[in-house]
Structure 1
Amino acid sequence: MLRPEHSQRPRLVEIRDNLLDRIVEAGSEGWLGELEKLHTRLAGAEDKLSQLDDEAARQANVVDLGMPSFSQITVRTTADRP
């Protein structure tokens, strides 16, 4: 499964809009096989757009916890040794 890059979102929107126009044309011309193929492609394009939106929403909720220093994560001291 390939993940789309966020920079490709405008191109995916353009592809989706083009598919919608082609679906209207295929419907008016009675091209049933073409209609089915275009609906499948439209579902794929909308799925990719949904993935991009979901990823953007997840990244907006990311919290930076920082990196602890060595002295913060050390538990043992010389006084602890037997």
Structure 2
Amino acid sequence: MLKAVTLKEIERIFAVIDPMGISREAVEIPLRTEHPGRVSILKNGKLEIVVERDGDFEDWITTLEAQIRDLMKPAAEG
């Protein structure tokens, strides 16, 4: 169980979003984990990435890019 997001996890998240062309300034990563983790767009337009608390971080990080792409997919494609 991951109770708090550290620099190690943030760097891993950046390793996913950087190649996607997402600015680090456009992302909010709360330091508190939650179950379930989630990816959402905040009212201010920023991408919020909440890290999964109960599952394995390594498993969760492998799903992050797909979660982001699904979220950002235009509604017409959904």
TM band (smaller chain): under 0.3
Q: TM-score, normalised by structure 2?
A: 0.26
Higher relative contact order (CA 8 A, sep 6+): 1
Q: TM-score, normalised by structure 1?
A: 0.25
Higher fraction of strand: 2
